[in-house]
Amino acid sequence: MGRMTFVFRRLALLVPTAVGVTIITFFMVHLIPGDPAVTVLGQHATPATVALLHHQWGLDKPLAEQYWLFMDRLVHGNLGESLYYQVPVWGLITGRLPATLWLLCYAAVIAIVISVPLAVLAASRKDAIRDHVVRVVPLLGLGMPAFWFGLILQTWLGTKLRLFPVTGYGQGFVGHVHTMFLPSLTVAVALCPVLIRSLRASMLNVLGADFITTARAKGVPAPRLLVRHVLRNAVIPAVTVLGINIGYLIGGTLIVEQVFAVPGIGSLMIGAILQRDFPVVQGVALVFGVLVVLVNLLTDVAYAALDPRVRFGR
């Protein structure tokens, strides 16, 4: 299969997934036990207000028609209106998306900066003490609730040592880099265990290859061998792991944004949950779903483009 055919096939596979994502977000509101209108209105629920909300949301129409309307609005960039802010959800999300994307990219960079040296250290001598240490210590990160670690960083590096601002997004590039460091570090620490593990495994894999033996026989010094020959080849699988784990990464940003008051779509979603703002929750979930699908697609395509050895087809 040719390269373009692969990309097109991959794009075609996207369609059922994207439709599925919309179906799940659509039915989310229908999963609510009882009547969502009553839940939202709370004490203000009278038959008249409930009927009005039903009509506004189109809940008085058949389910298939409702889904059709939902999709129709969606392709026109209309995600409905926020019950709390009384403005279109789409505008809320686009206004807050940059902060979330900043956090995601920054966290990915920090995770790579932490993980690569540690993985090199571990793989350079398998089963040595340093290998065991690098394998075990990041396990601490797996069971660490991101919000808790964020609170600890806030208290020590923010409030006590005053090295970093405690909350917010910052002004300009330098401001973003400074202000977003703690939240990004929090997200990155959760990602490091997975990344270190896969990098180490793929480096060990590469170390067993014939061309490494050849390079060794030629007398290539160890540091150069690790960086130029091993790391280069091991990075591609690690990038894929990063792509696959984008969902995990995004899940981390959700709560971290809340703790550090980063004005992104994660904190928007948490806020909407606390205010019982259904359309916003639905909209953000949809945007997150689409984001993950797109990143996975990009990872696949980038992988295929970067590594000429990748064979296309299943």
Q: Where do contacts with another protein occur on this chain (CB under 8 A)?
A: 13, 16-17, 20-21, 23-24, 28-29, 31-33, 135-136, 139-140, 142-149, 151-152, 154-155, 159-160, 201, 246-252, 254-255, 258, 269-270, 273-274, 281, 284-285, 288-290, 292-293, 296
- Residue 45 or 273: the one with the smaller Cβ distance to another protein is 273
How far from 209 is each of 206, 212, 228, 231, 306, CA to CA, in Å? 5, 6, 14, 13, 19
Amino acid sitting at position 19 = V
Tell the smallest beta-carbon distance from residue 137 to another protein (Å). 10
Distance of CA 7 to the CA centre of its chain: 23
Tell the smallest beta-carbon distance from residue 60 to another protein (Å). 20
Q: Can you tell me the distance from the alpha carbon of 259 to that of 159, in angstroms, rounded to the nearest whole number?
A: 14
- Residue 35 or 216: the one with the smaller Cβ distance to another protein is 35
- Residue 130 or 228: the one with the smaller Cβ distance to another protein is 130
Q: Can you tell me the distance from the alpha carbon of 239 to that of 268, in angstroms, rounded to the nearest whole number?
A: 29
Tell the smallest beta-carbon distance from residue 258 to another protein (Å). 8
- Residue 194 or 226: the one with the smaller Cβ distance to another protein is 194
**How many other β-carbons are positioned within 10 Å of the β-carbon of residue 89?**
25
- Residue 225 or 268: the one with the smaller Cβ distance to another protein is 268
Helix (H/G/I), strand (E/B), else coil: 99? helix
Q: Can you tell me the distance from the alpha carbon of 147 to that of 259, in angstroms, rounded to the nearest whole number?
A: 6
Tell the smallest beta-carbon distance from residue 272 to another protein (Å). 9
- Residue 110 or 292: the one with the smaller Cβ distance to another protein is 292
Tell the smallest beta-carbon distance from residue 254 to another protein (Å). 5
Return all residues near 230 (Cβ < 8 A) that are at least 6 apart: 120, 123, 203, 206, 207, 212
Tell the smallest beta-carbon distance from residue 145 to another protein (Å). 5
- Residue 172 or 208: the one with the smaller Cβ distance to another protein is 208
**How many other β-carbons are positioned within 10 Å of the β-carbon of residue 203?**
24
Q: Can you tell me the distance from the alpha carbon of 283 to that of 278, in angstroms, rounded to the nearest whole number?
A: 9
Tell the smallest beta-carbon distance from residue 134 to another protein (Å). 13
Tell the smallest beta-carbon distance from residue 3 to another protein (Å). 22
Q: Can you tell me the distance from the alpha carbon of 228 to that of 189, in angstroms, rounded to the nearest whole number?
A: 26
DSSP per-residue codes, 209-234: SHHHHHHHHHT--HHHIIIIIIIHHH
Phi-psi region of 261 (alpha: psi -120 to 50; beta: other; left: phi over 0): left
- Residue 68 or 148: the one with the smaller Cβ distance to another protein is 148
Return all residues near 271 (Cβ < 8 A) that are at least 6 apart: 258, 277
